[in-house]
């Protein structure tokens, strides 16, 4: 379109104004006053040149003149206004690697990438292999259904996380390395450009932003999308958030992110170790060459990468296997020693299920819980003081609290109760409450203290057997004796196995709710409750005084001489005495 002169713009505006004022009376005059496309553009340009306040006073009349809604006019005028980069920013411009002109020896290429990483950063060999494979895989990530986040983690500053991101920026496909980002811009830039996101100092802004966390998690899978309403009609639209992402942070991020990542643990270089200083303003030409080679190699081997079905080591299960599959595929297509090196790196870098906060919590409690019972405050203090654990920064950089601990343990059906220790009665836990969770989530836990299908551990079985043998004789005698007392514990035969109905509650203290201590359960007094529908209830010795204060009318009898069955209702008696 040929731009109009100033006089032509003025004449077009005058005709439009005359039309709006009704000065055209004939069809010929109306036609001569109507705006052409060029004149309409000129009118919008004139309005865009006005100060904002002046435009606001003229926009309604101008919209009528141009036969359009004011909202449309506002958008057209805004598009014509000159933009201040300080206010509007600059357009996203990503580096698209030009593939190398000649075919690439992939094995030598990966050796070169590992060597360059080792030139600037202190990392174990397994970590360098993992990072190099991930960088090459960024050129072929669309060949996979799941692509892992690369999580760079260290205990302190000065371990090279930012430097490694700078090196990756020179190696990966379409890198974008913002210092800060929120959920909205993240999904918009991914949907529009599909970059390789490199997020530095993520501990400052990721975990506190649930919207950002959900987008990062969704982008772990190829079908990951977020839904937003767009346009004047607020139409719901789906946006893809599928993109490679490396995340560097000192603090532990939310477990959902780290469970979707290959973890690279970084430390400060040892004394005397020498590394070349990396200058991001003058990156070495070798990195650009390697990036170009990676682009060519990925393009040449795209079909083989997409068809790859790598063997997964038996020790990698579930999410960890999904995370490592793309890197195994790259290594298998590379050939040579790299398939074995990739699997060794996976075994060296993996942290297994211990990275899940809940299981990690159980592991730490198992090591710290050396007494029969602990108050919640003491257990929390011990967890927060544990070196290398995430508990001191679990809640957005703040320490674990008793309330947070209780919420996490409730997922394992473990509840705190009032427990008296050294004369102080406060909320806490007994070691026996954890045994079933230890056995279920930590297979190496010895089963001697774990409960079986009867709900009793071996110690409790022995105590029950001892109590019944001393006071009631055999199980058959106990059955006959209780039937004579009114059939409160009559038997039911199912498949040849006898069960007792009307048995007492499990061996749980009626006052504090805790399980048996290391004392034999038979040494715990039994409370006879005459009108509570139960034949008896257990008490810890230290809880007897508190029970008596609250239940003065309820007599106490020793468990060993009480005519009650201190086991779960409908429990298999034969299983107990075996």
Same domain, 372 and 426: yes
Helix (H) or strand (E) holding 41: helix 37-48
Cα separation, 109 vs 293, in Å, equals 7
Q: Cα separations (Å) of 106 from 297, 322, 352?
A: 7, 23, 30
Q: Has residue 331 been placed in a domain?
A: no
What b/e string do you get for 290-319 counting C-beta neighbours within 10 Å, with b at 16 or more?
Answer: bbbbbbbbbeebeeebeebebebbeebeeb
| Residue 502 zone, left/alpha/beta (φ > 0; ψ -120 to 50; rest) | left
Same domain, 163 and 246: yes
Tokens representing 336 are: 């040579």
Cα separation, 419 vs 31, in Å, equals 93
Q: Cα separations (Å) of 297 from 245, 305, 340?
A: 21, 11, 20
Domain hosting residue 476, numbered range = 458-577
Same domain, 248 and 113: yes
pLDDT of 214 reads: 93
Cα separation, 355 vs 36, in Å, equals 67
- Please state the pTM of the whole predicted model: 0.56
- Of 302, 319, 334, the one marking the end of a domain is 302
Same domain, 20 and 47: yes
Q: Has residue 1 been placed in a domain?
A: no
Cβ atoms of 25 and 2 within 8 Å: the answer is no
Same domain, 190 and 232: yes
Residue 222: which of 200, 195, 251, 244 has the closest Cα? 244
User: Which residue carries 């593939």 as its tokens?
Assistant: 99
Q: Has residue 351 been placed in a domain?
A: no
State which of 62-66, 314-318, 504-508 shows the largest mean pLDDT: 62-66
Tokens representing 407 are: 């919420």
Cα separation, 528 vs 270, in Å, equals 67
- Mean pLDDT of the 62-85 span: 82
Q: Has residue 286 been placed in a domain?
A: yes
Q: Has residue 320 been placed in a domain?
A: no
Beta bridge partners of 146: 221
User: Which residue carries 């059939």 as its tokens?
Assistant: 487
Same domain, 119 and 57: no
pLDDT of 510 reads: 66
Of 13-17, 108-112, 225-229, 331-335, the one with minimum mean pLDDT is 13-17
CA atoms within 13 A on the CB side of 259: 16
Indicate the average pLDDT of the chain: 76
Exposed / middle / buried, residue 225 (Cβ in 10 Å: 0-12, 13-18, 19+): middle
For Cα atoms 176, 99, 170, give the angle at the middle one, nearest 5 degrees. 35
Beta bridge partners of 235: 230
- Of 431, 449, 467, the one marking the end of a domain is 449
User: Could you count the other beta carbons within 10 Å of the beta carbon of residue 428?
Assistant: 23
DSSP code string of 94-105: ---PPPPSS---
Same domain, 222 and 293: yes
| 226 pLDDT above the threshold of 80 | yes
Tokens representing 108 are: 């030598």
Q: How many domains does the chain have?
A: 4
Cα separation, 166 vs 283, in Å, equals 9
Q: Has residue 381 been placed in a domain?
A: yes
CATH classification at residue 235: 3.40.50.300
Cβ atoms of 265 and 127 within 8 Å: the answer is yes
Q: What does the pLDDT look like over 297-351, one tens digit per residue? A: 999 999 999 999 999 988 776 788 999 999 999 999 999 999 999 999 988 876 5
Q: Has residue 98 been placed in a domain?
A: no
Q: Cα separations (Å) of 382 from 166, 313, 323, 373, 416?
A: 38, 36, 33, 14, 16
Same domain, 506 and 539: yes
Q: Has residue 317 been placed in a domain?
A: no
Q: At what angle do helices 70-80 and 52-65 cross, to 10 degrees?
A: 130
| 476 pLDDT above the threshold of 50 | no
Same domain, 130 and 199: yes
pLDDT of 21 reads: 64
Pairing of strands 196-199, 245-249: parallel
Give the model's confidence band at 259: pLDDT under 50 very low, under 70 low, under 90 confident, else very high: confident
Tokens representing 546 are: 């508190």
What's the sign of the alpha-carbon dihedral 225, 226, 228, 231? negative
Same domain, 146 and 275: yes
Same domain, 371 and 488: no
Same domain, 466 and 425: no
pLDDT of 1 reads: 47
- Of 399, 424, 449, the one marking the end of a domain is 449
DSSP structure class, residue 58: H
Cβ atoms of 50 and 58 within 8 Å: the answer is yes
Cβ atoms of 521 and 566 within 8 Å: the answer is yes
Of 62-66, 174-178, 422-426, 457-461, the one with minimum mean pLDDT is 457-461
Pairing of strands 556-557, 537-538: unpaired
């Amino acid at each position: 379109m040929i731009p109009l002169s100033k006089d032509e713009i003025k004449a077009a505006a005058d005709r439009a104004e005359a039309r709006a004022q009704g000065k055209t009376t004939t069809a010929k005059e109306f036609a001569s006053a109507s705006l052409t496309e060029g004149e309409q553009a000129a009118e919008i340009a004139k309005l865009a040149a006005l100060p904002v306040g002046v435009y606001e006073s003229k926009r309604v009349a101008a919209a009528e003149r141009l036969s359009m809604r004011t909202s449309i006019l506002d958008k057209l005028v805004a598009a014509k206004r000159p933009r201040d980069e300080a206010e509007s920013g600059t357009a996203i411009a990503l580096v698209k690697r030009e593939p190398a002109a000649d075919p690439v020896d992939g094995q030598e290429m990966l050796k070169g990438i590992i060597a360059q990483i080792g030139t600037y950063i202190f990392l174990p060999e397994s970590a360098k292999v993992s990072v190099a494979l991930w960088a090459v895989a960024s050129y072929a990530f669309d060949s996979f259904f799941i692509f892992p986040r690369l999580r760079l983690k260290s205990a302190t500053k000065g371990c090279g996380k930012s430097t490694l991101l700078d090196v990756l920026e020179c190696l990966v496909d379409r890198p974008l390395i913002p210092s800060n980002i929120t959920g909205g811009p993240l999904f918009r830039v991914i949907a529009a450009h599909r970059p390789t996101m490199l997020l530095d100092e993520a501990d400052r802004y990721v975990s506190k932003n649930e919207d950002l966390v959900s987008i990062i998690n969704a982008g772990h899978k190829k079908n990951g999308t977020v839904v937003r309403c767009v346009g004047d009609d607020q139409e719901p639209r789906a946006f893809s958030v599928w993109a490679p992402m490396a995340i560097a942070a000192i603090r532990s991020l939310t477990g959902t992110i780290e469970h979707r990542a290959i973890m690279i643990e970084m430390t400060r270089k040892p004394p005397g170790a020498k590394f070349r200083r990396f200058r991001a303003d003058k990156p070495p030409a070798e990195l650009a060459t390697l990036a170009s080679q990676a682009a060519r190699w990925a393009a040449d081997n795209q079909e083989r990468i997409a068809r790859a079905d790598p063997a997964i080591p038996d020790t990698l299960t579930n999410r960890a296997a999904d995370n490592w599959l793309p890197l195994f595929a790259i290594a298998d297509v590379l050939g040579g020693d790299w398939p074995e090196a990739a699997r060794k790196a996976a075994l060296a870098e993996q942290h297994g299920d211990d990275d899940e906060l809940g299981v990690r919590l159980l592991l730490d409690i198992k090591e710290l819980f050396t007494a029969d019972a602990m108050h919640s405050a003491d257990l929390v203090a011990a967890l927060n003081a544990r070196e290398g654990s995430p508990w001191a920064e679990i809640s957005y950089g703040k320490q674990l609290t008793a309330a947070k601990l209780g919420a996490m343990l409730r997922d394992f059906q473990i509840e705190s109760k009032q427990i008296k220790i050294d004369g102080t009665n406060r909320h806490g836990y007994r070691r026996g409450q954890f045994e079933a969770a230890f056995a279920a989530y930590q297979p190496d836990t010895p089963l001697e203290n774990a409960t079986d299908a009867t709900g009793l551990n071996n110690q409790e079985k022995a105590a029950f057997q001892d109590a019944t043998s001393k006071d009631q004789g055999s199980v058959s005698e106990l059955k006959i004796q209780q039937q004579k007392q009114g059939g409160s514990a009559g038997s039911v035969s199912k498949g040849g196995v006898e069960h007792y109905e009307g048995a007492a509650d499990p061996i749980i203290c009626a006052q504090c709710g805790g399980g048996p201590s290391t004392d034999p359960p038979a040494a715990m007094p039994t409370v006879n409750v005459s009108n509570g529908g139960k034949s008896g209830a257990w008490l810890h010795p230290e809880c007897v005084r508190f029970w008596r204060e609250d239940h003065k009318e309820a007599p106490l009898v020793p468990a060993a001489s009480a005519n009650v069955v201190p086991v779960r209702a409908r429990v298999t008696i034969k299983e107990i005495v075996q």
